Amino acid sequence: MTGEAIVETEELTKRYAGGTLAVDRVSFQVKAGEVFGFLGPNGAGKTTTIMMLTTLIRPTSGRATVCGRDVVASPHWVRQQLGYVSQDVAVDESLTGWENLYLQGRLYHLEPAVLRQRVGELLATVELEEPAHRPVATYSGGMRKRLDIAAGLIHRPRLLFLDEPTLGLDIQTRSRIWEYIRRMRDEHGVTVFLTTHYMEEADRLCDRVAIIDHGRIVALDTPAALKQALGGDLVTIRLAHPGPVPGGVGGGRPPLDRPAGDGQQAGHEAGHEALKALAAEMARLPLVESVQPGADSTVQLVVREGERATPVLLDFLSSRRVRVESVALKRPTLDDVFLRYTGRQLRDDEGAAAYHRMARAVRRVRG
């Protein structure tokens, strides 16, 4: 990775004719040699951004350069530098895989001899040599997508745009596609800009991720840094009963769920007080960043090094003779990052639902 910017945007904005502000003043750089991801829910503005960068639509305002040239001023030149694999499979079903790649290369005016060799190499890279001479109609979804990616590389672009490269594919097929994308970068030095709503994909595949929501970039960094910025691992402890507290070991306080005293309410309050006192003590333990007593005798903690902090917490509770019903240790995911910045969850099933809507629409169109 050279670190030189291969894509640069400044306040890039797109408002569609109907009034929708799809992309709202986004500024970012993609560095040469990296796999850069745009992660966001359906409708966030990912495709619109790609379409502006690939010169398919014009920005309403702001600026974008690809390999140092403005996308509006030099669209033809910019298109020569990049490969673009759209969200929908674009290959011709009635032709073979080999024929699809060959035709794509002819569109770029590649010499037949050069092209034959390149088609062979690309088919090998995406492991489609065996079915190369079968019509694409016989290919699986994953095979078609791999062929699409190969087609995007036929003219040896420096930069490859992939719009939702694994949309609707099963998890095994997705991880194979991730492998090809890495290989493009490692073996061919191609810079990759991809969009996805699969947080796991962004996490595992991308060197850096921009999280986009409602047309705005809400966070941009390496996946590790984004997760780290949340402050640590999350430990949730459910107590069997929180007393006796505070101070003395083994005092005769009743368990939370069967309180002494006059009735449910008083007992409930006593239990919650006990829980709060316990939480205050836990906040002083090593590695603990913060403690939040919750409902149902649970305590939520943000800790550094969750796997080391958890035994410390359990030892402490045991020393207070507090029985623990369950413990959960969770490392932050990019979903937690999204939640932090937007107050909503970015869930994979949102994408799946969008895919099924699209599939239904396609079936309707085809009759």
> In the complex, what is the shortest distance from the CB of residue 111 to ligand ADP, in angstroms, rounded to a whole number?
36
Q: What is the largest CA-CA distance in the chain?
A: 92
* Closer to ligand ADP by Cβ: residue 8 or 164: 164
Among 16, 58, 117, 286, binds ligand ADP (CB under 6 A): 16
- How many residues interact with ligand ADP (rule CB under 6 A)? 12
Cβ-in-10-Å burial (0-12, 13-18, 19+) of 130 comes to: exposed
Considering the rule CB under 6 A, would residue 351 count as an interface residue with ligand ADP? no
Considering the rule CB under 6 A, would residue 48 count as an interface residue with ligand ADP? yes
Per-residue binding string, ligand ADP, 18-37, x by CB under 6 A, is x-x-x---------------
> In the complex, what is the shortest distance from the CB of residue 215 to ligand ADP, in angstroms, rounded to a whole number?
7
The whole-angstrom separation of Cα 37 and Cα 24 is 18
> In the complex, what is the shortest distance from the CB of residue 48 to Mg ion, in angstroms, rounded to a whole number?
8
Cα-Cα-Cα-Cα torsion 222, 223, 225, 229, nearest 10 degrees, comes to: 140
Q: Answer with the entry of Mg ion, ligand ADP, none that 42 interacts with (C-beta below 5 to 8 A by kind).
A: ligand ADP
The β-bridge partners of 174 are none
Residues numbered 295-314 forming contacts with Mg ion, rule: CB under 5 A: none
* Closer to ligand ADP by Cβ: residue 47 or 191: 47
Considering the rule CB under 6 A, would residue 86 count as an interface residue with ligand ADP? no
Residues numbered 250-269 forming contacts with Mg ion, rule: CB under 5 A: none
User: What sign results for the dihedral spanned by CA atoms 118, 124, 125, 128?
Assistant: positive
For residue 226, the surrounding DSSP H or E stretch is helix 223-228
End-to-end CA distance of the chain, in Å?
Answer: 48
Q: Answer with the entry of ligand ADP, Mg ion, none that 108 interacts with (C-beta below 5 to 8 A by kind).
A: none
DSSP 66-97: ETTEETTT-HHHHHHHEEEE-SS--S-TTSBH
> In the complex, what is the shortest distance from the CB of residue 71 to ligand ADP, in angstroms, rounded to a whole number?
16
Per-residue binding string, Mg ion, 34-73, x by CB under 5 A, is ------------xx--------------------------
Q: Answer with the entry of Mg ion, ligand ADP, none that 22 interacts with (C-beta below 5 to 8 A by kind).
A: ligand ADP
Return the number of other C-beta atoms located less than 10 Å from residue 191's C-beta: 25
Q: Closest by alpha carbon to 239, among 327, 160, 178, 175? A: 327
User: Taking a C-beta distance cutoff of 8 angstroms, is the pair 22, 185 a contact?
Assistant: no
* Closer to ligand ADP by Cβ: residue 43 or 142: 43
Return the number of other C-beta atoms located less than 10 Å from residue 214's C-beta: 15
> In the complex, what is the shortest distance from the CB of residue 286 to ligand ADP, in angstroms, rounded to a whole number?
43
At 44, phi and psi to the nearest 5?
Answer: -75, -20
Q: Site residues (CB under 6 A) for ligand ADP?
A: 16, 18, 20, 22, 40, 42-48
